[in-house]
Amino acid sequence: MGFFDSFKKYKSQLDAVDSSIYYGSKTLLEVYERNAKLEAEIEQRTKELDRANKQMLTLQHIWNMMNSSEPLSNVLNAIVNSLQGELGYVYSFIIKPQIKDGESFIQVAAASRQDFSDKFAKYFHCKLSDYKMVYPGIEGLKDAVMNNTIYQSPNIVELISGFIPNLDKERLEKFFKEAGMKSYILVPLMSKDIHFGSLIVFSSREKVSSNELNFLSLFAKQIELAITIADLFQAVKEQAVTDSMTGLFNRRYFEEFIKKEAIRAERQNQHFTVIGLDLDHLKQINDVYGHNYGDIAIKAIAEVLKNNARSIDIAARMGGEEFNLILPGVDSAGGLVAAERIRKAIEGVELDKIGHITASVGVATYLEHSDDLDELLELTDQAMYESKRKGRNRVTLAKPAHETSWQDVAIKTYIDILTKHRIPVDEKIAKLLTEKLQSTNFNNERLYQVADTLVSTYNPDHNDGSVKQKVQLATLLAKRFDLSKEQIDKLKVAVLLYDIGNTMLPKELLNKTEPLSDEDKESIKQHPLIAARDILKPISNITDIIPIIEKHHENWNGSGYPNQISGEEIPIESQIILIIDSYFALLEKRPYRNANTKETAIKIMMGEINSKWSEKLASEFISIVKNDLD
């Protein structure tokens, strides 16, 4: 092979290698380009997936709010804050139509927690939420609101200057440019098919994708459902603490609030005053004009309380025609001034047909008259009742607790019974109860607990707390019959002690499931005498209470025991104890029957009018049970 032939051969081989390298490089470049394109696509899909995930988390957050009992304001704030940052929105807020004093306007109901608000306030010397706004006359925007469709625009300045016409447009343009806001989206919100308001988001992007609009549309539906549920929760909550007739707080809320107020008062060593008032002559109004007019009179007093109470005061309807007002931070002198102002305002009310109405008012101050809540309310009640006894339509200041001694009488009596073993109670229990009675921080609640414990020794089905309810019921009934304070105090002690004779009866007799024999009945009939004569008579400080207890099983028609007296011969205090004892006995389970419902118990009691009790007593009792202790 010649030189040229060899050269050609080598050249041909070099060309083949060069061609291989060229095509190999070209393939590698194509692979690189494809990989780069794939990586960019993966990055884009990852961003979209991340955004979708954040959108799902946002929707989940709203869903969680729907399953809570948060108030509407909390729900709205959670909604706008869920759109912060990660979804690319610089700021979001909800506007809602308002009507106040006949003026219609739009106001910010919730706004996201971002420095935007602070910057806006510094820039324009006022928060966005402080403005009373109107919907801008922007073409398309009002139609979007009316037709419940999403509206998007890059002209944020036009929106805000439309909301608040007196803002400087140049300053607005500068502000939004510095804030990096390039567009806004307005999402109308509905609740129960009625326009609720609008969600507005400020975005750092000029254009909005179809996916984003779809998300906001879905988000709006979730918001609307959350708002509806929050409204329902709020309505239920208000019903739970509000008296439906007057719009004032109810007894339950009052009792919860005063406990918290007592803790605050003790911590800050600050008084608060309770004003109790009772509409005068409600029964007469009902009898003469009808119950509708009685309701009108009750509502009129509620309006007076609303108009004369401070924003921090708590006015409540306690039941029937009775109201209480808590005045935080007010001593007795200030309480008397406020009470007299309220009394005069009530007296100045003139109602159709009824004419002028009046109320009897009582005043007591925490840490001044008593540091025990039950006692304080009782003193307020007694002062109010004293106003009635003195002629009605007046204010009476309560007497300090140390001048009211029925609790001391009861405590001393219980201690005597327990320490001298007048009833068969386990020694450990007797010692524990005596220590409780003698403790320095003793209060009414502990007195009731001791009474409940003693009743439970012979009645295992006894409901704890019923002794307190019996005392409260007895007090309310006594007032309906114009008993004096001294009579009511004796009645309270008698309620605590009347059934103590049962501790001396054989347990097998009390727990008997079959019908009682005549001998059994005679034994049970002895328990009032046992309580009055054998247990209590040796205790000198309750001699005037013993007759009440001795006669508490005498029936109106003379069929009772132990002396078969009838009608007005029976002390009214004894009559009151009988009807209360019978009512609670019907509510408790017995070895021979199940517990009755409240409705069944009332029906049974109505069937015993003019046999066990008078029609007047039964009528007043049933009225209280139905209306005052719900």
**Judgement on whether residues 154 and 173 belong to the same structural domain of the protein:** yes
Residue 49 domain flag: no
With a cut of 70, say whether residue 262 has pLDDT above it.
yes
Does residue 416 lie in a domain region? no
Q: Per mean pLDDT, which of 55-69, 236-250, 316-330, 520-534 is the most reliable?
A: 316-330
Do you know the residue count of the chain? 630
CATH of the domain at 94: 3.30.450.40
* 110, 132, 154, 189, 348 from 201: Cα distances, Å: 12, 19, 12, 13, 53
Query: Left (φ > 0), alpha (ψ -120 to 50) or beta: where does 161 sit?
Result: alpha
In a domain, 612, yes or no: yes
- Is the bond into 562 cis (omega within 30 degrees of 0)? yes
The tally of domains found in the chain comes to 3
Mean pLDDT over each residue of the chain, to the nearest integer = 79
- Domain-terminating residue out of 240, 275, 310: 240
Tell me how far apart the alpha carbons of residues 440 and 414 are, in angstroms, rounded to a whole number: 16
pLDDT tens profile 545-577:
888 888 888 999 999 888 899 999 999 999 999
Range of the domain at 332: 251-403
pTM of the full structure: 0.46
Question: The CATH number of the domain where 280 resides is what?
Answer: 3.30.70.270
- Is 526 or 506 the better-scoring residue by pLDDT? 526
| 8 A C-beta contact, residue 275 and residue 339 | yes
> 279 pairs with which residues across the strands?
359
Do 327 and 263 belong to one domain?
A: yes
The CA distance from 364 to 334, in Å, is 11
Residues 220 and 309 in one domain: no
Q: Does residue 8 form part of some domain?
A: no
Q: Which range among 89-103, 120-134, 500-514 shows the weakest confidence by mean pLDDT?
A: 500-514
Residue whose C-alpha is closest to residue 300's, from 327, 321, 324 = 321
Q: pLDDT tens across 271-284, in order?
A: 999 999 999 999 89
Query: Do 94 and 154 share a structural domain?
Result: yes
Both structure tokens of 127: 């928060």
Give per-residue pLDDT as tens, 240-253: 688 889 999 999 88
Confidence (pLDDT) at 18: 60
Is 547 inside any structural domain? yes
Average of pLDDT values for 510-518? 58
